[in-house]
Amino acid sequence: MTGDDDDLDTGGVPAGLPSRGAYLLAFGSVVLAGLFGGIIGYGLIDVGCTGNCNTSKVVGTLAGALTGAIGVGIVAVLVLRAMAEWKRRPRG
């Protein structure tokens, strides 16, 4: 932080930040990706396993959910950073 008050909107928030709606959309997409990843992980184990596979199904569900959520989370952070950079005012 440089200490310049020109970089802050009213309320002490930096001027280049994405909107609250963008953050909520990013959060919702991470949750949804985790849900779908868990469903895919469960389905893969369910199709490929015979006999008692309860532990394997839980592990597959968790692995799929984490993989999906982490992947979309990385993309969401990059998009939010790009939005902040696009909104930033040029220094002059």
60-91 confidence digits (pLDDT tens): 999 999 999 999 999 999 999 988 888 666 66
pTM for the full model?
0.76
Residue 54 falls inside a structural domain = yes
Average pLDDT score over residue span 32-61? 94
- Contacts within 8 Å (CB) and 24+ apart, 31-36: 31/69, 32/72, 33/68, 33/69, 33/71, 33/72, 33/73, 34/65, 34/66, 34/68, 34/69, 34/72, 35/65, 35/68, 36/68
* The total number of structural domains that make up the chain: 1
pLDDT at residue 90, rounded to an integer? 65
Residue 90 falls inside a structural domain = no
Residue 26 falls inside a structural domain = no
Residue 74 falls inside a structural domain = yes
Residue 20 falls inside a structural domain = no
Question: Would you tell me how many other CB atoms lie within 10 Å of the CB of residue 58?
Answer: 13
Residue 38 falls inside a structural domain = yes
Domain that holds residue 40: 34-83
